[in-house]
Amino acid sequence: MTETQERRVVGLVAGSHVVNHAYLVALAPVIGLVADDFGVSIAAVGLAIGVQGGVVTLLQLPFGYLSDARSRTLVLAISLGFGAAGIVATALAPSYPWLLASQALLGVGIAGHHPAHYPLLATASSETNRGRAYSLHALGGSLGFAVSYAIAAGVGALGFGWRWTVAGIAVFGAAFALVALPVARGFPERIRKPAAEDRPSSRPTLAGIRRGASELLSSSGLMGLALLSFLTSAAAWCIRTYSPQLLTAGYGLAPGTANLLVSAMLVVGAGTILVGGALTDRVGPGTVALGGYAALAGLAALLATGSIPLALVASILPFSGTISVSRPARSTLADRLSERADLGKNFAVVTVGISLGGAVAPPAFGALIDLAGVRVTFGVVAVLGLLSFGLTRWLLGRVDGSARRPQATPSD
């Protein structure tokens, strides 16, 4: 694998992650406008986002199998195609039931990205650069979140409705797909597809599925990472989706100002991903993850008080970054716990945790805001940070020493 080929693969995967995450939060910046348009509550729009997350969760292992058994770039192509269809359907949804259906379709498009991305990155990158490759991938995701909020702020400033925001995201995603798919077809076959010796020798059977599920469930390290992914995903979804409500209801900012500030927060978070990747390669993934989750708990508790002076409300800028800085560390831990032939399935299991967070958090936190207010809701985020810190300490005590070393040994 030449350095140029490695950069091309990492760049395309990172770009795909930008689009994927822009789709994920397409409704978040305009959640109040969508609720008003359809005459439903914020929790109901959160449920629509949760439907998307539920579909993503259900399809992780099937796409993981397809990636490991057939073709990573095929899974990527399916995702880009269904994602474009789903985001267009969301922009055109004439009623709330249609919104639910369009979010389910969008979930099909989102579901295949991680099962395709991680095997592509692991195959194309060297061990010494893998933490940075994962950090660039995570950087793309955070920029995707920021893209949606930036488009929403621009469309709002022009006086257009929420459908134009979603349509702008759709144009962005479709343009990327038209460029990316021909590039992906040009990757070497050993990057696009698993090696012949790593492919299953027979079609999956019910007994084989049960045996594989039992093996996955018996891996305490992998299950711990899946649970950790769920906790941090739930916290991240609350931050991305409801930070505008925290800034408007808790601190009195105008909606446009709040969206710009949240977009800036996500850009800052993208920068911390690069820091997290470099630190993961330098000091090891365990230390980086623990530091990020401790900062998450502290900053969430501080912002939840609603007592920060308005002049210091920009302290929200590193909020998202407390999770982002640990994402390359979590991906590196999953990589070191996986055999090469199981990368797609194992990262799919971790992504199940992420997707469950996306399915549960938007409606649950939306209902909590309706019942108890935005400050209580962000107090719960602080608790999730503490739980993530404790789980990481437990996990590091039960996996081998590679979890704490900056570089894995050849046997890893």
pLDDT at 72: 87
Mean pLDDT for the chain? 82
Q: Is 394 left (phi over 0), alpha (psi -120 to 50) or beta?
A: alpha
Q: Rg of the Cα trace of the chain? A: 20
Q: Are 33 and 161 in contact (CB under 8 A)?
A: yes
406 against 52, higher pLDDT? 52
Grade residue 286 by pLDDT with cuts at 50, 70 and 90: confident
pLDDT at 275: 84
Q: Is the pLDDT of residue 104 over 90?
A: yes
pLDDT at 409: 36
Count, residues in the chain: 412
Determine what percent of the chain is predicted with pLDDT higher than 70.
84
pLDDT at 216: 56
* Sign of the alpha-carbon torsion through 346, 82, 5, 331: negative
Q: Is the pLDDT of residue 406 over 70?
A: no
pLDDT in tens, 132-154: 787 788 788 878 888 898 898 88
Determine what percent of the chain is predicted with pLDDT higher than 90.
25
Considering only CA atoms, which of 323, 339, 331 is closest in space to residue 389? 323
Grade residue 22 by pLDDT with cuts at 50, 70 and 90: very high
Neighbours of 378 (CB within 10 A): 29
Residues of the chain with CATH 1.20.1250.20: 1-193, 219-403
Q: Are 2 and 124 in contact (CB under 8 A)?
A: no
> For 215-224, 233-242, 283-292, which range has the lowest pLDDT when averaged over its residues?
215-224
- Name the CATH superfamily housing domain 1-193: MFS general substrate transporter like domains (1.20.1250.20)
398 against 155, higher pLDDT? 155
Distance of CA 376 to the CA centre of its chain: 24
Q: 219-403 adopts what CATH topology?
A: Growth Hormone; Chain: A; (1.20.1250)
pLDDT in tens, 328-357: 787 777 776 666 555 556 666 777 888 788
